[in-house]
Amino acid sequence: MRARPTLRKIALAALALALCRPQEARGWGNTWIGIDLEEAYNALRWRSGLLRGGGVLTLGNAGYSSDIFYGSTPEPTPDYTATAGASVRGMLPLSRKLIAEASATPEYLFFLRTRGERAFNGIASGSLHLVLDRLYFLAGGEYRNMRERLGPELDVNIRRQEAALTGLALWQVSKQTSLALQYRRAAYNYGETGETGIRERLNRIEDYINVRAYLRQIAKVRYYLDGEYGDFSFTQDPTHFRDARSYGAYACVDINPEAATNPLNRQITGAIRLGYGKFDLRDPAQMDFAGLAGSARLTIPLMRHTSANGFFERGAEFSVFAGMSYFLQTSFGGGVTRALTRRITLSYDFAMSRLSYPESGSSEEPSSQLRSAYRVHSIRLGTQLKRNLFFNLLASFSTRSSSVLIRPGGRNFFGFGLSYGVSPGATTAIVDPTAR
pLDDT single digits (tens) 300-349? 999 889 999 999 999 999 988 767 788 899 999 999 999 999 999 999 99
pLDDT single digits (tens) 20-47? 554 444 568 789 899 889 988 998 989 9
Q: For residues 326 and 429, which has the higher predicted lDDT (pLDDT)?
A: 326
pLDDT at 3: 46
pLDDT at 321: 79
Sequence letter at residue 400: R
Q: What is the DSSP code string of 299-354?
A: EEEEETTEEEEEEEEEEEEE-SSTT--EEEEEEEEEEEEEESSSSEEEEEEEEEEE
pLDDT at 284: 81
Residue 292: helix, strand or coil by DSSP? Answer: strand
- Of 303, 239, 251, 305, residue with least CA distance to 277: 251
Q: For residues 239 and 18, which has the higher predicted lDDT (pLDDT)?
A: 239
Q: How far is CA 416 from CA 111, 115, 258, 335, 382, in A?
A: 15, 21, 26, 19, 9
Contact in structure between 280 and 244 (CB atoms under 8 Å): yes
Asked if the model's pLDDT at residue 435 lies above 50, the reply is no
Mean of the pLDDT values across residues 207-220?
Answer: 88
Other Cβ atoms within 10 Å of 291 Cβ, number: 12
Mean of the pLDDT values across residues 56-85?
Answer: 92
pLDDT band at 434 (very low <50, low <70, confident <90, very high): very low
Contact in structure between 415 and 380 (CB atoms under 8 Å): no
Of all residues in the chain, the percent with pLDDT exceeding 70 is 83
Asked if the model's pLDDT at residue 433 lies above 50, the reply is no
Mean pLDDT for all residues in the chain: 86
Range with the poorest average pLDDT among 98-112, 118-132, 400-414? 400-414
